[in-house]
Amino acid sequence: MKFFVLFVFLVQGLLALEYDVADVSVANGKTTVITFAKEKGVSYDKVTHGEGSYKIFEHPLDKTKMYALLPMSYYQTPSNEKLQIHYKQNGMNETQEVTLKVKDGNYAKEQIQVSNEKVNPTSKAVKDRISKEYNAAMKVYGTVHNESYISSAFIAPLESKITSDFGKARVYNDSLKGYHSGTDYRADVGTPIIASNDGVVALVEKRFYSGGTVLVDHGQGIYTCYFHMSKFNVKKGQKVKKAQLLGLSGASGRVTGPHLHFAVRINKVQVDPLQFIELMNNKLLKEI
Protein backbone atom coordinates (compact mmCIF):
# COMPACT_ATOMS: atom_id res chain seq x y z
CA MET A 1 0.00 0.00 0.00
CA LYS A 2 2.78 2.38 0.95
CA PHE A 3 4.57 1.56 -2.27
CA PHE A 4 1.41 2.30 -4.27
CA VAL A 5 0.96 5.75 -2.65
CA LEU A 6 4.58 6.64 -3.31
CA PHE A 7 4.27 5.47 -6.89
CA VAL A 8 1.20 7.66 -7.53
CA PHE A 9 2.97 10.63 -5.95
CA LEU A 10 6.02 10.14 -8.17
CA VAL A 11 3.94 9.80 -11.31
CA GLN A 12 2.00 12.96 -10.44
CA GLY A 13 5.28 14.79 -9.92
CA LEU A 14 6.38 13.79 -13.41
CA LEU A 15 3.16 14.76 -15.12
CA ALA A 16 3.44 17.82 -17.31
CA LEU A 17 1.45 20.88 -16.38
CA GLU A 18 -1.61 21.33 -18.54
CA TYR A 19 -1.96 24.55 -20.48
CA ASP A 20 -3.53 26.01 -23.58
CA VAL A 21 -1.88 28.67 -25.79
CA ALA A 22 -4.31 30.66 -27.96
CA ASP A 23 -1.86 30.99 -30.87
CA VAL A 24 1.33 28.97 -31.08
CA SER A 25 2.42 31.26 -33.92
CA VAL A 26 2.36 34.98 -33.12
CA ALA A 27 3.74 38.04 -34.94
CA ASN A 28 6.02 40.64 -33.37
CA GLY A 29 3.93 43.40 -31.74
CA LYS A 30 1.03 40.99 -31.13
CA THR A 31 -0.15 39.19 -28.02
CA THR A 32 -1.15 35.66 -27.20
CA VAL A 33 -2.54 34.17 -24.02
CA ILE A 34 -1.76 31.00 -22.10
CA THR A 35 -4.51 29.56 -19.90
CA PHE A 36 -4.41 26.90 -17.20
CA ALA A 37 -7.22 24.90 -15.60
CA LYS A 38 -6.33 25.15 -11.90
CA GLU A 39 -4.75 21.87 -10.80
CA LYS A 40 -4.70 20.56 -7.25
CA GLY A 41 -1.38 21.08 -5.50
CA VAL A 42 -0.14 23.55 -8.13
CA SER A 43 0.53 27.21 -7.48
CA TYR A 44 1.11 29.25 -10.61
CA ASP A 45 3.78 31.95 -10.65
CA LYS A 46 4.88 33.44 -13.96
CA VAL A 47 5.94 32.86 -17.56
CA THR A 48 9.37 34.19 -18.50
CA HIS A 49 10.57 35.00 -22.00
CA GLY A 50 14.15 36.30 -22.16
CA GLU A 51 14.15 39.49 -20.06
CA GLY A 52 10.33 39.51 -19.94
CA SER A 53 8.38 38.14 -16.99
CA TYR A 54 4.61 37.77 -17.13
CA LYS A 55 2.75 36.94 -13.96
CA ILE A 56 0.10 34.22 -14.05
CA PHE A 57 -3.17 35.68 -12.73
CA GLU A 58 -6.56 34.33 -11.86
CA HIS A 59 -8.90 34.48 -14.86
CA PRO A 60 -11.09 37.63 -14.58
CA LEU A 61 -14.35 35.72 -15.22
CA ASP A 62 -13.63 32.07 -14.39
CA LYS A 63 -12.15 31.33 -10.97
CA THR A 64 -11.30 27.76 -12.02
CA LYS A 65 -8.69 29.08 -14.46
CA MET A 66 -5.44 31.02 -14.45
CA TYR A 67 -3.89 32.94 -17.35
CA ALA A 68 -0.91 34.97 -18.48
CA LEU A 69 -0.80 37.39 -21.38
CA LEU A 70 2.30 36.95 -23.54
CA PRO A 71 3.07 40.18 -25.42
CA MET A 72 5.69 39.97 -28.18
CA SER A 73 7.88 43.04 -28.53
CA TYR A 74 7.75 44.86 -31.87
CA TYR A 75 11.52 44.39 -32.07
CA GLN A 76 11.30 40.61 -31.63
CA THR A 77 12.74 38.95 -34.74
CA PRO A 78 11.15 35.83 -36.25
CA SER A 79 12.33 32.73 -34.41
CA ASN A 80 11.21 29.80 -32.30
CA GLU A 81 11.07 31.32 -28.82
CA LYS A 82 11.38 29.23 -25.70
CA LEU A 83 9.27 30.44 -22.78
CA GLN A 84 9.39 29.01 -19.27
CA ILE A 85 6.33 28.44 -17.10
CA HIS A 86 7.30 28.78 -13.43
CA TYR A 87 5.09 27.08 -10.85
CA LYS A 88 5.16 25.12 -7.62
CA GLN A 89 3.89 21.56 -7.46
CA ASN A 90 3.42 20.06 -4.01
CA GLY A 91 5.72 22.79 -2.69
CA MET A 92 8.53 22.13 -5.18
CA ASN A 93 9.67 24.77 -7.68
CA GLU A 94 9.13 23.54 -11.21
CA THR A 95 9.52 24.96 -14.71
CA GLN A 96 8.07 23.82 -17.97
CA GLU A 97 9.11 24.96 -21.44
CA VAL A 98 6.70 26.23 -24.09
CA THR A 99 7.83 26.98 -27.64
CA LEU A 100 6.17 29.83 -29.53
CA LYS A 101 6.85 30.56 -33.18
CA VAL A 102 7.31 34.31 -33.67
CA LYS A 103 6.58 35.38 -37.23
CA ASP A 104 7.19 38.67 -39.05
CA GLY A 105 4.30 41.16 -38.71
CA ASN A 106 5.24 42.58 -42.15
CA TYR A 107 4.48 46.14 -41.05
CA ALA A 108 4.47 48.92 -43.63
CA LYS A 109 6.70 52.02 -43.60
CA GLU A 110 5.30 55.54 -43.33
CA GLN A 111 6.95 58.89 -44.17
CA ILE A 112 5.96 61.82 -41.94
CA GLN A 113 6.93 65.49 -42.21
CA VAL A 114 6.59 67.56 -39.03
CA SER A 115 8.24 70.69 -37.67
CA ASN A 116 11.88 69.99 -36.84
CA GLU A 117 11.63 71.02 -33.17
CA LYS A 118 9.21 68.13 -32.54
CA VAL A 119 11.48 65.56 -34.22
CA ASN A 120 14.84 66.47 -32.75
CA PRO A 121 14.14 68.58 -29.67
CA THR A 122 17.33 70.48 -28.96
CA SER A 123 16.59 72.61 -25.90
CA LYS A 124 17.63 71.11 -22.58
CA ALA A 125 14.30 72.07 -21.02
CA VAL A 126 12.42 70.10 -23.69
CA LYS A 127 14.75 67.10 -23.41
CA ASP A 128 14.36 67.10 -19.63
CA ARG A 129 10.59 67.30 -19.97
CA ILE A 130 10.51 64.37 -22.42
CA SER A 131 12.65 62.14 -20.22
CA LYS A 132 10.65 63.05 -17.10
CA GLU A 133 7.39 62.23 -18.90
CA TYR A 134 8.81 58.98 -20.25
CA ASN A 135 9.97 57.87 -16.79
CA ALA A 136 6.63 58.77 -15.20
CA ALA A 137 4.75 56.78 -17.86
CA MET A 138 7.04 53.74 -17.49
CA LYS A 139 6.51 53.85 -13.74
CA VAL A 140 2.76 53.71 -14.36
CA TYR A 141 3.04 50.84 -16.86
CA GLY A 142 5.32 48.94 -14.48
CA THR A 143 2.71 49.06 -11.71
CA VAL A 144 0.93 45.70 -11.83
CA HIS A 145 -2.08 45.07 -9.60
CA ASN A 146 -2.98 41.45 -8.92
CA GLU A 147 -6.70 42.02 -9.20
CA SER A 148 -8.54 42.56 -12.48
CA TYR A 149 -10.91 45.51 -12.77
CA ILE A 150 -12.65 44.15 -15.85
CA SER A 151 -15.67 41.87 -16.10
CA SER A 152 -16.68 42.09 -19.75
CA ALA A 153 -15.33 42.63 -23.28
CA PHE A 154 -13.22 45.63 -24.33
CA ILE A 155 -14.71 48.21 -26.71
CA ALA A 156 -13.22 50.79 -29.10
CA PRO A 157 -12.66 54.27 -27.58
CA LEU A 158 -14.82 55.78 -30.34
CA GLU A 159 -16.54 54.69 -33.51
CA SER A 160 -14.56 56.15 -36.38
CA LYS A 161 -12.38 55.38 -39.37
CA ILE A 162 -8.90 54.05 -38.59
CA THR A 163 -6.36 56.32 -40.27
CA SER A 164 -3.14 54.59 -39.20
CA ASP A 165 -2.61 51.05 -37.94
CA PHE A 166 -0.30 49.87 -35.20
CA GLY A 167 3.21 48.94 -36.24
CA LYS A 168 3.92 51.12 -39.26
CA ALA A 169 7.64 51.95 -39.24
CA ARG A 170 7.80 55.73 -38.86
CA VAL A 171 10.27 57.78 -40.80
CA TYR A 172 10.12 61.38 -39.54
CA ASN A 173 11.72 63.94 -41.89
CA ASP A 174 13.72 61.06 -43.43
CA SER A 175 15.05 59.62 -40.16
CA LEU A 176 13.67 56.41 -38.67
CA LYS A 177 12.12 57.10 -35.28
CA GLY A 178 10.67 53.78 -34.24
CA TYR A 179 7.21 52.58 -35.14
CA HIS A 180 3.60 53.59 -34.68
CA SER A 181 2.82 52.41 -31.17
CA GLY A 182 -0.98 52.47 -31.38
CA THR A 183 -4.01 52.77 -33.62
CA ASP A 184 -5.09 56.20 -34.92
CA TYR A 185 -8.78 57.04 -35.28
CA ARG A 186 -10.10 59.96 -37.28
CA ALA A 187 -11.57 62.42 -34.76
CA ASP A 188 -12.35 66.11 -35.15
CA VAL A 189 -11.32 68.21 -32.15
CA GLY A 190 -14.02 67.75 -29.49
CA THR A 191 -15.07 64.16 -30.28
CA PRO A 192 -16.07 62.23 -27.11
CA ILE A 193 -13.52 59.55 -26.14
CA ILE A 194 -14.71 56.72 -23.90
CA ALA A 195 -12.99 54.16 -21.68
CA SER A 196 -12.34 50.84 -23.45
CA ASN A 197 -13.17 48.93 -20.28
CA ASP A 198 -13.57 49.30 -16.49
CA GLY A 199 -10.48 50.53 -14.68
CA VAL A 200 -8.75 53.18 -12.63
CA VAL A 201 -7.36 56.36 -14.17
CA ALA A 202 -3.59 56.11 -13.69
CA LEU A 203 -2.41 59.35 -15.35
CA VAL A 204 -3.97 62.56 -16.71
CA GLU A 205 -1.42 64.95 -18.13
CA LYS A 206 -0.46 67.24 -21.02
CA ARG A 207 2.74 65.73 -22.43
CA PHE A 208 5.22 66.83 -25.11
CA TYR A 209 4.76 63.99 -27.61
CA SER A 210 1.38 62.53 -26.71
CA GLY A 211 -0.31 65.84 -25.81
CA GLY A 212 -3.39 65.52 -23.60
CA THR A 213 -2.92 62.01 -22.23
CA VAL A 214 -5.15 59.65 -20.23
CA LEU A 215 -3.90 56.22 -19.07
CA VAL A 216 -6.37 53.70 -17.67
CA ASP A 217 -5.23 50.77 -15.51
CA HIS A 218 -7.41 47.67 -16.02
CA GLY A 219 -5.51 45.62 -13.44
CA GLN A 220 -3.17 42.64 -13.94
CA GLY A 221 -0.67 44.73 -15.93
CA ILE A 222 -3.08 45.90 -18.67
CA TYR A 223 -3.21 49.62 -19.58
CA THR A 224 -5.10 51.49 -22.30
CA CYS A 225 -3.77 54.88 -23.46
CA TYR A 226 -5.58 57.83 -25.07
CA PHE A 227 -3.40 60.57 -26.66
CA HIS A 228 -3.72 64.08 -28.16
CA MET A 229 -6.85 64.96 -26.15
CA SER A 230 -8.13 68.55 -25.90
CA LYS A 231 -10.18 68.19 -22.69
CA PHE A 232 -10.18 65.83 -19.68
CA ASN A 233 -13.35 64.63 -17.93
CA VAL A 234 -11.56 62.36 -15.43
CA LYS A 235 -8.98 62.76 -12.69
CA LYS A 236 -6.05 60.56 -11.65
CA GLY A 237 -7.11 57.85 -9.21
CA GLN A 238 -10.73 57.90 -10.34
CA LYS A 239 -12.55 54.63 -11.04
CA VAL A 240 -14.10 54.51 -14.49
CA LYS A 241 -16.67 52.21 -16.05
CA LYS A 242 -16.49 50.88 -19.58
CA ALA A 243 -17.82 53.53 -22.05
CA GLN A 244 -17.47 56.33 -19.50
CA LEU A 245 -16.42 59.67 -21.01
CA LEU A 246 -12.68 60.24 -20.49
CA GLY A 247 -12.54 63.54 -22.36
CA LEU A 248 -12.55 65.06 -25.84
CA SER A 249 -10.18 64.35 -28.70
CA GLY A 250 -7.81 67.03 -29.95
CA ALA A 251 -4.62 67.80 -31.83
CA SER A 252 -2.19 68.30 -28.95
CA GLY A 253 1.39 66.95 -28.88
CA ARG A 254 3.32 65.64 -31.89
CA VAL A 255 0.58 65.43 -34.52
CA THR A 256 -0.05 66.39 -38.10
CA GLY A 257 -3.76 66.91 -37.43
CA PRO A 258 -6.55 66.08 -34.97
CA HIS A 259 -7.06 62.39 -34.20
CA LEU A 260 -7.13 59.91 -31.33
CA HIS A 261 -4.08 57.71 -30.80
CA PHE A 262 -5.20 54.63 -28.86
CA ALA A 263 -2.59 52.28 -27.40
CA VAL A 264 -2.30 49.22 -25.14
CA ARG A 265 0.55 48.25 -22.82
CA ILE A 266 0.92 44.85 -21.19
CA ASN A 267 3.65 44.72 -18.56
CA LYS A 268 5.26 47.77 -20.23
CA VAL A 269 5.24 46.10 -23.67
CA GLN A 270 3.45 48.04 -26.43
CA VAL A 271 1.18 45.79 -28.45
CA ASP A 272 -1.30 46.09 -31.30
CA PRO A 273 -4.40 47.38 -29.44
CA LEU A 274 -6.99 45.98 -31.84
CA GLN A 275 -5.43 42.50 -31.94
CA PHE A 276 -5.22 42.64 -28.13
CA ILE A 277 -8.94 43.49 -27.87
CA GLU A 278 -9.87 40.73 -30.32
CA LEU A 279 -7.78 38.21 -28.36
CA MET A 280 -9.20 39.26 -24.98
CA ASN A 281 -12.79 39.34 -26.19
CA ASN A 282 -12.64 36.03 -28.08
CA LYS A 283 -10.44 33.98 -25.78
CA LEU A 284 -10.70 35.33 -22.25
CA LEU A 285 -13.79 37.52 -21.92
CA LYS A 286 -16.39 35.69 -23.97
CA GLU A 287 -19.47 34.83 -21.95
CA ILE A 288 -19.07 31.59 -20.01
Contact 184, 162 (CB under 8 A): yes
Query: From the CB of 179, what's the least distance to Zn ion, in Å?
Result: 10
Query: From the CB of 161, what's the least distance to Zn ion, in Å?
Result: 14
Strands 211-217 and 183-186: unpaired
Q: Is 261 an interacting residue with respect to Zn ion (CB under 5 A)?
A: yes
Q: What are phi and psi of 69, to 5 degrees?
A: -80, 140
Q: Which residue, 67 or 276, has its beta carbon nearer to Zn ion?
A: 276
Q: Is 254 an interacting residue with respect to Zn ion (CB under 5 A)?
A: no
CA distance 225 to 242: 14
* Of 51-59, 170-178, 179-187, 270-278: span binding Zn ion (CB under 5 A): 179-187
Q: Which residue, 242 or 261, has its beta carbon nearer to Zn ion?
A: 261
CA distance 52 to 31: 13
Residue 230 contacts by C-beta under 8 Å, 6 or more apart in sequence?
A: 189, 190, 212, 247, 248, 249, 250, 251, 252
- Tell me the three state secondary structure of residue 7: helix
* Of 47-55, 66-74, 91-99, 181-189: span binding Zn ion (CB under 5 A): 181-189
Q: Which residue, 261 or 265, has its beta carbon nearer to Zn ion?
A: 261
CA distance 185 to 194: 13
Query: From the CB of 163, what's the least distance to Zn ion, in Å?
Result: 9
Q: Which residue, 184 or 272, has its beta carbon nearer to Zn ion?
A: 184
Question: For 275, left (φ over 0), alpha (ψ -120 to 50), or beta?
Answer: alpha
Contact 52, 31 (CB under 8 A): no
Which of the 8 DSSP states describes residue 146?
A: S
Contact characters 202-241, Zn ion, x per CB under 5 A: ----------------------------------------
Query: From the CB of 142, what's the least distance to Zn ion, in Å?
Result: 22
Q: Is 272 an interacting residue with respect to Zn ion (CB under 5 A)?
A: no
Query: From the CB of 69, what's the least distance to Zn ion, in Å?
Result: 22
Q: Which residue, 261 or 268, has its beta carbon nearer to Zn ion?
A: 261
Which of the 8 DSSP states describes residue 74?
A: T
Q: Which residue, 65 or 168, has its beta carbon nearer to Zn ion?
A: 168
What residue number has its CB nearest to Zn ion? Answer: 261
* Of 80-88, 116-124, 217-225, 261-269: span binding Zn ion (CB under 5 A): 261-269
Q: Is 184 an interacting residue with respect to Zn ion (CB under 5 A)?
A: yes
Q: Which residue, 157 or 182, has its beta carbon nearer to Zn ion?
A: 182
Query: From the CB of 227, what's the least distance to Zn ion, in Å?
Result: 7
Tell me the residue type at 62: D
Strand ranges (E), 9-91: 20-21, 25-27, 31-37, 42-49, 52-55, 57-58, 65-71, 79-89
The residues that touch Zn ion, with contacts defined as CB under 5 A, are 182, 184, 261
